[in-house]
Structure 1
Amino acid sequence: MTIFRVSGTLLFHRASNPRSTTLSAHATRGGRSLLCWEAEVSNEPQGFSGTAKNVVQATSISGGVHFHHNGFDAPVPHQLPTSIKHFTNRETILAGLNSLLDEPADGSTPTSLVVGSGGVGKTSLATYWAHRVRERFPDGDLYVDLHGYHDTRRVPPDDSLESILCALGVPGDRVPTDTDAKAAMYRSLLHGRRMLILLDNAATAEQVRPLLPDSPTCLVLVTSRNRLPSLLTREGAIQMALDVLPPEHAAELLRSTVGADRIDAEPEAASELARRCGYLPLALRIAGERLVSSPHLRISELVAEVAEERLDAFSTEDEFGSIRAVFASSYRALPPEAATLFRLLSLPESPDISVPAAAALAGLTSTRTRRLLETLVGAHLLDEHQPRRFRFHDLISTFAAECAEADATADERDAAVRRLLSWYLHAMISASWKVAPEFTRIELDHPEPIGDVPEFTDRATALHWYDDERQNLLAAIRLASARDERVFAVQLPVELFAFLLTRRRVTDWLETHRIGLTAARARGDHLAEAWLLTSVAIAHRTCGDYESSLSDLERAVQLWQRFGPEWAQAWALRDLGAVYHQLGRHTEADEALETAQAMHVALGDEWGEATALSALALTECHIDQFDEALMHLERAIEIRRSQGDRRNEGTCLSHIGMVLGEMGRTDEAVERIEQALEIHHEVEFAYGAALSHERLADLFDRNGQADRAREHRRIAAELYDDLGVPHSLSA
């Protein structure tokens, strides 16, 4: 060791070049330590020369200055994992990462956070991009798998720093024992160097933060299943989210893995396999590897296996690499309350769920439930696909159902389902009163309401709530049937009537009422059975199945006469008269309709009276009693307007237009039907609009206006198709 005794100014050179010698300087005065310093200097003869940014000056030093060589040269690390061979549809994310290279540094370390669910391809994407740009970082690249989602393998910052320092050439006996000291040495060694750091599988910001080099010449890429929001707010990280692949790109990934010949030989099976994989890259790769390793296995055979075995079909030799293991590690990392909600969310088997519905399911407040939902979204176990609406990806839903079966008792599952069904029931009752306040309803003994039952300000808001929840309500009715919750299996279809009458989704109508009727008969609930029969008869009549409608109504009339109120008997009779009319049994139609109308008048039921008059007018028009038909329709529309019933006012106008058209008063007919169309659009009554367009087409055909007739017929056909209503119109 060479010892220098100096007095005055001493310059220390700090070099970022890894091909350098590390020197330490120690100055004393009067036996007291004044300065300790370590610096790397070039091995060239002019080692102490340099610019202002890499020279440190110490003045007025008197004492011993010691210089010594540390005995090691820092290597240039290249630690990136092997890049994947097959890669597809991540151009937007790659472009975003590329933009980090082009942006001028602001003094902080450019950091990108790639987030997404387990198996979505975060590591693959990060590794692929890092290999593409590694030449931009001549001082090397570092890789640390933080194993953030493995209970026993999670890497703490202290261990990560130690492995990094070793990779940078620091001898083991020179690595500090304290975590903060390790982080300080790490930042010192990377300062001024151009290095790429990939931190994979981070679970928390605390795992990442000590590994940020705080040097604008470095770039850090982090992957995580969590959103790690504090990295965004405190460190200024840029977040990029990965989702499952679109169907066409999932097929492309299978093609590149399996080979074009096999995919082209079974294109439909390949599409179904991609769907069964939930378009998740990891599942697609496992399926592809299975096909590659089994050249005689048909894709359709693998599809059948996946359909039967579900997640078992995606097992691998690597205990941590299967789909179930990947999801399980994310599930185990959840706080207990969030894990409970995760399990319960699988029970409805519905397309999505709102915050209030989830709160009822969990038995919690909406505020608390919202926070737990955010936790699940942050862990990428749930997707907020619309504001305040949440859903699972397919395979995660399957895994959540497994967790519910394994980790929740049967009583817990049953109680959660009842809470949810009760919430949907009372929410639907609340909405139906806004949609059809004029309806008379049968009395049902409803279960107690659960949670925050929504209140609706107007008809449109209530209808749009139904539109948002329609598929979930269907799922709830199926769930009630599957779990033998007969009260809900009856009452949910009964309370659905106002929405079915307005929206006319006939397939929904038929399915829900089959379930409701089965449950009502099993419970011996004659009133509910009579209601459901009278209701479903409208669906059969809408579909042109008049014989089924007739059978429903004949049974309903018997039940109402034995068990029901008089207004309900009148309802069934007037609908029976409408069916007789469609079957050409006009005498029976007149008799039934006149009887029903008289009953409504005697009861003071103007809404029922107007409905009976409208049906009677259609029968009268068919037998050329046009004046009587118009008289009855004018009385009906008067009642509709007095009650503010815009939907049925529009229907009356359309009927009047049809009668005027039969009378040859074409211009008046078109005017009335066009007025009806305006109302149909205003109240969003698509079935009424379809019927009015069909009537206009008939009118224009008679007048030789073929082009106008064709356009109205096309619109009517499209509306019927959307509703699922059978028709014979050519679009």
Structure 2
Amino acid sequence: MRFTVLGPVRAWRGDTELALGPPKQRALLALLLVRAGSPVSLSDMVDVLWPQGPPKSATNVVRHHVGSLRRLLAPETPTGEDRAVGTVARYSGGYRLDPQTGGLDLLVFRRLAARARQAASEGSPKTATDLYDEALALWRGPIADGVPADIRGHPVFTAIDDECVSVVRDAAVDALTAGTPDRVLAPLRRATTSHPLDEPLQARLVLVLAAAGRRAEALATYRAVRDRLAEELGIAPGRELTEAHQRVLDQDPSDVWRSGTPPGPDSGDAPAPRRRPRAETPSGARTPAPHPAQLPADLPVFAGRRSELARALALLPELDHPAATPEATVITTIEGMAGVGKTSLAVHWAHRVAHRFPDGQLYANLRGFDPAGAAVEPGDVLRAFLHGLSVHPHDMPAGPDAQAGLYRSLLTHRRVLVLLDNARDSAQVRPLLPGSPGSLVIVTSRRRLQGLITADGAHSLTLGPLGDAEAREVLAQRIGAQRIAAEPAAVEAVIALCGRLPLALVIVAAHSTAGPGLPLASIAAELRAGHGSLDAFSGDEADVRAVFSWSHRALTPVATRLFRLLALHPGPDVSRSAATSLTALRPGEARAALTALVRSHLLIEHATGRYTSHDLLRAYADELLYAEESEQGRREALGRLLDHVLRTAQAAVDLLFPHRVERETPPPCRAGSAPEPLTGRESAAAWLTVELPGLLALIERAATCGFPVHAWQLALALELFLDRRGLREEQITVQRVALAAAERHDDRLGRAHLHRTLGFALHRIGVDSEAASHLGSALDLFTALGHSDGQARTLRSLAFLANSRACHQEALEHYAQALAHYRATDDLSRQAGVFNEIGWTHILRGEHHEALAQCTTAVALHQKTGDINGEAAAWDSLGYAHHHLRQHAHALDCYRQALVLFREIGDRALEADTLGHIGDTLHEQGNHTAARSSWGQAAAILAEWGHPDTCQLLKKLRDAAADPP
């Protein structure tokens, strides 16, 4: 596969260009391409595709487009192969696309640009120019051309455009230095046309034109830019553009360029400073107008955070030019958990834009989460800032209010950058805000500073762990690219074990550089040995445990207990309702505690009402759990959580599969625990889908922590849902875990149920001998227990197994015994289910007329009992019998009856099954176009879940590709 996004969005398979579908689908592909190799969450996809706000159907539309792209990009790749190169794969709650090496122009562009910069740094401008020339040849127009303009305006795309412009700037420098200005003229013209007010870019064009012998055009370009700046912005050209003009007038632009220090990619953004009046104190006395420069040193090895930095830089366009009059001071909060790199990003950003604030930069560490608990008072910071602004101690007014007034007065009509690091809350920050427009305030905190956002209009930038590529870059900057390249597997392990947390990566890098001969594989092994605790991340210079404790100690007792109890939940995230049951809090108390944890960045609310946290924070919470919570307290909390999920799961499957789910009475519910309120089939399906990873993990935790009944009943509740989703391996794993727990506690009822469910699941993957053994054990146990329904269900599973072996008479005998059990209990719905299965057996025997009779009886009984799901299944069987009798019109009528019912109850798995059958009948009728459409709809449904049956449908579509319409 080949893709382009540096211009029109296009894709090729071999030499064949693919039709990328409707605009939203093309835009989704463009988003996956610009984020190539990194997962994109569903929420991010919705945010990008609907800039004006998403419709209610947005998530479903995205999933439909994902399915379409999968079929388009890799029609021969089984959907379950989620990491297949060149297709859209499920990953970490979202989707990602991994193009082949050299298969995406953006990745090639970046690789060439990096090599060019390296050559320039090594004093080889000619080599750099050659590489830049090759890179810029890939830039063929506006990024993601062909995607709707409002979508292309999203920062995820504009950041790529900025990246290309930055490369053009660098290329211009090296082309001038190498004496080959013509090489960069074409891309420079294109860049300046699309960025007519970018003074550094226009300055480079002026110099390149002059160096290429086009002095008159260079002067005309300068005049045009000068006039445009005056007309549109009311300002004069800045320093760089003015100097470029003077160099052209001196008739030696290339020599002048080489004799000076070329500005970097960002230093050229500086406008000419305006003359400003000196500030006056409230008493009218003049004070000096110094230019404090208090920023901490920028990291010499800052890496990563490109998208966050681009978003931060995008907040400042109104400050680009001195004549602009911003409506207010720009305030930005950078928030995130401890160790995520907030200060590093803030300091790096501040240095990048410091030239835009000619009146100085102020800095203070507010120590909001200092281990000693002594946060800096705002008054102390005010006095330090006033000293930095050259206010003599004798002139310092008394009292914080007067000092704040003087501070604001001194900043009036000035443009100052204020960096406030490690803020405790909004109240600590507010006295330090300038009172007039034109300045920038950057605040870092481990909490969400909602007060600044709400009352002061602050922008919020939340940092999460680094992406994989950025994490590698952090390590490479510190331990060297050669060591990274030499042990790629170990690097991946180190990054995963560090959770892509910058602080942890830096600590590991420091450890590795202390022993340069130490293989990275050894470091990875050391981390594995310490994983599950924070011991591997402790050291003389930094201690992650101590850093986390600073945030933790600032919480209320209720929030701290919730934080440590959340370690009991083994899933990837937890719902607000589950957290409420876990802690036995009232809903309002739980919501407040969760909000406090989110604001402290000890939790992330990644979706409404759903919370997750970093692995290191989980490890820290686990340490607190065992250090501060009694064994009885831990057991009661886990019991409440298991009561919550078991009862909610049982309610969900009752809503989805009434008349078809087997369950036993759950254990008594503990005080403080309550099931999730479900309003219908849709909410039940949504809850099971979202909670499934956590439910599977909780089965194992229940089994190993002394809750065997919860383990096997939860496994039993999920049986049909897992089977419909085609999650066979997950089904077998949890059934084995639950069965082992029931056996350890000699729970015969649990053993009976789990032998049956495990036997059925093993048969699904073709392990029939073990399946028969488990089903035999189940039948013996249910018979010994006198459990009539269990016996009947097991007999039906044995019949299913017999039919797969073509032992149809044996299957009919099992069904007859099952029917007798249901007649004895007058269970009409399950009798109807058996009649349908008997009818299917007759289809397998070729006895289609007998099948019609049995399935018609099933339809009537299901209609009598109101079992819509069973009725739909019976209609599908009737259609299948008519199909084999070549009564195609009757078959389609029956299938469509089934389809309406499956859609009514939201059973998408059996909807897909029926759509597949409709496609078969249409194809046999000769209606190939409609058949392909029906198969395609079925495949799209199953592909969303990675269902194994998707492969069969894709094969039908491939085989039918050459069919006439």
Decide: shared fold, TM above 0.5.
Answer: yes
Equivalent residue number for residue 246 of structure 1: 467
SS at match of 1:220: strand
Matched, 1:132 2:355: no
Deviation of 1:396 (Å) = 1.8
Match of 1:86 among 285, 302, 315: 302
Cα drift, residue 719 of structure 1: 6.3
Match among 77, 80, 83 for residue 292 of structure 2: 77
Q: Answer yes or no: is 1:430 the counterpart of 2:659.
A: no
Q: Distance in 1 between matches of 2:668 and 2:848?
A: 50
Aligned 8 A contact 1:494 1:528 in 2: no
Contact map agreement 1:314 1:323 (CA 8 A) in 2 = yes
Q: Which whole-Å CA distance do the structure 1 matches of 2:284 and 2:536 have between them?
A: 58
CA distance in 1, matches of 2:934, 2:655: 31
**Helix, strand or coil: the match of 1:40?**
coil
Show CA shifts across 1:380-418 (max 9, x none).
111111111111122222222222222222222222111
**Who is 1:29 aligned against?**
none
Out of 730, 740, 746, the position equivalent to 1:518 is 740
1:147 and 2:370 matched: no
| Match of residue 55 from structure 1 | none
Post-superposition offset of 1:639: 1.9
Distance 1:551 1:167, change over 3 A: same
| More displaced stretch, 517-526 vs 254-263 | 254-263
- Give per-residue Cα distances to partners, 1:124-159, cap 9 Å, x unaligned: 222112212222223221111111110335222232
The whole-number CA distance in structure 2 between the counterparts of 1:456 and 1:194 is 55
Q: Aligned in 2, Cα 1:511/1:718: closer, same or farther, shift over 3 Å?
A: farther
What residue number does 2:286 align with?
40
CA distance in 2, matches of 1:114, 1:378: 12
**Greater Rg, structure 1 or structure 2?**
1
- Range 165-174 or range 384-393, more displaced: 165-174
Give the letter for the 1:624 counterpart. Answer: G
Q: CA deviation at 1:622?
A: 2.4
1:415 aligns to 2:636 (yes or no): yes
The structure 1 residue matched to 2:537, chosen from 293, 304, 314, is 314
Are the equivalent residues in 2 in contact too, given 1:365–1:451 (CA < 8 A)? no
Residue 445 of structure 1, CA deviation: 5.4
Q: 1:565 matched to which residue of 2?
A: 787
Q: Which residue of 2 aligns with 1:95?
A: 313
How does the TM-score come out when normalised to structure 1?
A: 0.83
Provide the residue aligned with 2:691 in structure 1: 469
Larger deviation: 641-650 or 678-687? 678-687
Distance 1:700 1:205, change over 3 A: closer
Mapping for residues 704-723 of structure 1, pairs under 5 Å: 722=945
- Cα 1:160/1:455, change in 2 over 3 Å: closer
User: Equivalent residue of 2:611, what SS?
Assistant: strand
Distance 1:107 1:636, change over 3 A: closer
Residue 792 of structure 2 is aligned to residue 574 of structure 1: no
Paired AA for residue 347 in structure 2? T
Question: Which of residues 197, 205, 228 in structure 1 aligns to 2:426?
Answer: 205
Q: Where does residue 826 of structure 2 map in the other structure?
A: 604
What amino acid maps onto 1:219 in structure 2?
Answer: L
- Structure 1 unaligned regions, length at least 5: 1-14, 25-35, 42-72
Tell me by how many angstroms 1:362 deviates. 0.8
CA shift, 1:500, in A, is 3.8
Do the aligned partners of residues 696 and 236 (structure 1) sit closer, same or farther apart at CA in structure 2, a change above 3 Å counting?
A: closer
**SS of 1:345 mapped into structure 2:** helix
Aligned partners of 1:574 and 1:597 also within 8 Å: no
Task: Trace 1:677-688 onto structure 2 (pairs within 5 A).
Answer: 677-688=899-910
Aligned residues: 669
Using a 3 Å threshold, how does the CA distance of structure 1 residues 160 and 491 change in structure 2: closer, same or farther? same
Please tell me whether the aligned partners of residues 939 and 950 of structure 2 are also in contact (alpha carbons under 8 angstroms).
yes
Unmatched segments (≥5 aa) in structure 2: 1-275, 956-965
Q: Could you list the per-position Cα deviations for residues 514-536 of structure 1 after superposition, in whole angstroms to 9, with x for gaps in the alignment? A: 22222223333322322232233
Moved more, 606-615 or 447-456: 447-456
CA 1:556–1:681: 2 relative to 1, 3 Å: same
Map 1:598-637; keep pairs closer than 5 Å.
598-637=820-859
CA distance in 1, matches of 2:707, 2:566: 18
Counterpart of 2:651 in 1: which secondary structure? Answer: helix
TM-score by length of 2: 0.64
In 2: Cα distance, 1:360 partner to 1:128 partner: 43
Equivalent residues in 2 for 1:380-391, closer than 5 Å:
380-391=601-612
- Secondary structure in 1 matching 2:418: strand
Distance between the aligned counterparts of 1:186 and 1:369, measured in 2?
Answer: 41
The correspondence for 2:546, drawn from 325, 336, 339, is: 325
What SS class does the counterpart of residue 86 from structure 1 fall into?
coil
8 Å CA contact retained: 2:290, 2:359: no
Superposed displacement of residue 655, structure 1: 2.2
Aligned-partner Cα distance in 2 for 1:238–1:567: 61
Task: Show the counterpart of 2:882.
Answer: 660
One of 756, 759, 762 as aligned partner of 1:540: 762
Contact conserved, 1:614 with 1:652, CA < 8 A, in 2?
yes
1:461–1:75 distance in 2 versus 1, CA, 3 Å:
closer
Report if the CA contact (8 A) 1:86-1:257 is conserved: no
CA distance in structure 2 between the aligned counterparts of 1:462 and 1:498, rounded to whole angstroms? 14
Question: What do you get for the CA RMSD once the two structures are aligned?
Answer: 3.2
3-state SS of 1:215 partner: coil
Deviation digits for residues 234-271 of structure 1 (CA, Å, limit 9, x no counterpart): 33333232222333333343344444333333334333
Determine the C-alpha separation between the residues in 2 that align with 1:272 and 1:693. Answer: 44
The corresponding residue for 1:279 is 500
Partners of 1:597 and 1:429 in 2: how far apart? Answer: 26
Distance 2:329 2:364 in 1: 17
2:316 aligns to what SS in structure 1? helix
**Whole-Å Cα distance in 2 between the matches of residues 709 and 237 of structure 1?**
55
SS in 1 for 2:568: coil
Distance 1:451 1:727 in 2: 40
- Worse-superposed segment, 390-399 or 208-217: 208-217
Q: Structure 1 715/268 Cα, relative in aligned 2: closer, same or farther at 3 Å? A: farther
Q: How does 1:366-381 map to 2 (within 5 A)?
A: 366-381=587-602
| Mapped contact 1:144–1:198 kept (Cα < 8 A) | yes
In structure 2, the residue matched to 1:455 is: 677
Residues 303 and 470 in structure 2, CA contact (< 8 A), matched pair in contact too: no
Identity between Structure 1 and Structure 2 (%): 34
Cα distance in 2, alignment partners of residues 713 and 234 from structure 1? 55
The residue aligned with 1:58 is none
Q: Distance in 2 between matches of 1:359 and 1:515?
A: 27
Moved more, 270-279 or 466-475: 270-279
Give the residue type in structure 2 aligned to 1:122: K
